[in-house]
Structure 1
Amino acid sequence: MSNHDETQEREAGSSRLAHFVQHEREGGVHPAVKELHQRPAPRAEESNRRAVEYARIERGRQV
């Protein structure tokens, strides 16, 4: 009867390992998602145009 108990412990251990591995795989962030988060945010044309005009005025150029 003790042989049966040992078998159950091994199965429980491998099951625990399988759940751990599954949790680790699902818990991580996919590399594509990391890549998207590292991209610079797109700038609005309005703010970019305004910066260009301020730089032009600072340099003393007229239209």
Structure 2
Amino acid sequence: MDNTSYYVGLGPDIVHYTELGQGSALESGQPNVEQFDDEQEAKSRAEELGYIFTIEEDPLDELET
């Protein structure tokens, strides 16, 4: 069972997105934080608010070469 929670934090001119596993806690200086259980809903909301997702490199790629 996946117990990951997804958060979108927003304030004036800024949007944050993060994923946290079970047992983790989130503290934010943003005036508004929305919590989601569904990853796609969280990502859609973040994009709706102006968050831009970037392509991240897989850290294991460097170890395997």
Superposed pair shares fold, TM > 0.5: no
Higher radius of gyration, 1 or 2? 1
Short-chain TM bin: under 0.3
Which protein, 1 or 2, shows the higher relative CO under an 8 Å CA cutoff with sep ≥ 6?
2
Return the structure number with greater strand share: 2
TM-score using structure 2 length: 0.22
Return the structure number with greater helix share: 1
